Amino acid sequence: MPDARLSVRGLGLRYPNGTHALRGVDLEVRAGELLIVLGGNGCGKTTLLRCVTRALAPTTGEVWLGGQNLASLNGEQLRRARQALALIGQHAALVRRRSVIANVACGALARHKTIWTNLGGLPSSELPGALTCLGQVGLSDLAERRAGNLSGGQAQRVAIARALLQHPLVLLADEPVASLDPEAANEIMRLLRRLAHDQGLAVLCVLHQVDLAFAYADRVVGMRDGQVAFDRQRAHLAMDDVQSLYTARAA
């Protein structure tokens, strides 16, 4: 398989009380691919993302990104390696009082740890790049708008622009359309697919909407009880596979 940007091997997480949130999860996200993870509530989708970003420390397994195993890193090394991951969540998490362009420029702060940026200044050399990123999400004309005045869909696109300016190897998305109406949700999914196909970004997206997965994914991973239930190209995906994710627990 060519160019796996992120590769998760045997990832497991066991809580101190003995319950297994993840058991031996294997998956790969390749450059230029939109991978969608589906699964019922509590199947471990979000836990998987939290283990990849190391918001949670996995008990077993490896997370390979850019030649480094994130699971074995700590402290400053981890912080630096993690910059190659960008995360967008269910809510855009913008600083509402600042302009759109300022929010996007914050994605580049890690590359500019100067006195000026530590005092709240924006890295001016990054502003053209920030505008380019805004252009990629189709919001160039809103650069000066206050982030708090955007619609949910627009705010989410600004969050994606901020993530792009981070120059990530992998873009992680945790239910990015959960709080959006269907039209805005489709727009965000189209954007994620375009970023993968046109820019060669590796996108790993956790979703609840089966229809969106069928419409936009290149590959779909189904999770159940903290394990990978299937991992298929969309063309080979059947509705029965997906339904089994949501019914097997009851059986």
Partner 1 sequence: MSANNPGFTADAPAMLVPGWARSMAIATRAVFIVLGMAILVQALFVVQARPQDLVTGFHGMVDIVHRSMPPDFSALPDAAWPALETIDIGLFGTIMGIILAVPLSVLAAANVTPSRWLYYVSRAVIGFTRAVPDLVWALLFVTAVGLGPFPGGLALAVHSVGMLGRLFAETIENMDMAPIDALSLTGASRLQVFTHGVVPSVLPALAGIGLYRLDENIRSSLVLGFVGAGGIGFQLLTAMNLFQYRQVSLLLMVVFVIVFAAERLSAVCRERLA
With binding defined as CB under 8 A, does residue 94 bind partner 1? Answer: yes
79 binds partner 1 (CB under 8 A): yes
Q: How far is CA 150 from CA 100, 113, 213, 224, 244, in A?
A: 9, 29, 26, 36, 38
36 and 209 in contact (C-beta within 8 Å)?
no
Question: CA 147 to CA 167: how far, in whole Å?
Answer: 21
Residues 48-67 that bind partner 1 (CB under 8 A): 53
Task: Enter the tokens of residue 239.
Answer: 């509705």
Task: Pick the binder of partner 1 from 25, 52, 65, 87 (CB under 8 A).
Answer: 87
- Residues 37, 45: contact at Cβ < 8 Å? yes
Nearer to partner 1, 96 or 249 (CB): 96
Sign (positive or negative) of CA dihedral 153, 154, 155, 158? positive
Q: Which of 72, 74, 77, 118 binds partner 1 (CB under 8 A)?
A: 118
| String of contacts with partner 1 for each residue 139-178, x by CB under 8 A | --------------------x--x---x------------
Query: Considering only residues 21-50, where is the footprint of partner 1 by CB under 8 A?
Result: none
Q: How far is the CB of 49 from partner 1 (least distance, A)?
A: 11
Report the residue number, 148 or 200, with the smaller CB distance to partner 1.
148
Q: Which residues contact 215 (CB under 8 A, 6 or more apart)?
A: 186, 189
* 18 counts as binding partner 1 under rule CB under 8 A: no
Rule CB under 8 A: say whether 91 interacts with partner 1: yes
Task: Please state the closest distance from residue 203 (CB atom) to partner 1, in A.
Answer: 17
The interface region with partner 1, picked from 92-100, 185-193, 212-220, 224-232 by CB under 8 A, is: 92-100
Tell me the one-letter amino acid at 161: A
Which one of the spans 15-23, 90-98, 173-181, 185-193 is the region binding partner 1 (CB under 8 A)? 90-98
DSSP string computed for 206-246: E-S-HHHHHHH-SEEEEEETTEEEEEEEGGG--HHHHHHHH
CB of 111 to partner 1, least distance (A): 8
Answer yes or no whether residue 117 interacts with partner 1 by CB under 8 A: yes
Specify burial of residue 127 (Cβ count, 10 A radius: 0-12, 13-18, 19+): middle
CA 190 to chain centre: 15
Chain centroid offset of residue 235 CA = 23
Q: What is the DSSP string of 160-189?
A: HHHHHHT--SEEEEESTTTTS-HHHHHHHH
Candidate list 41, 113, 144, 183; residue touching partner 1; CB under 8 A: 113
Among 56, 109, 178, 210, which residue interacts with partner 1 (rule: CB under 8 A)?
A: 109
Give the footprint of partner 1 on this chain (CB under 8 A).
Answer: 53, 79-80, 82-83, 86-87, 89, 91, 93-98, 106-107, 109-110, 113, 117-120, 159, 162, 166
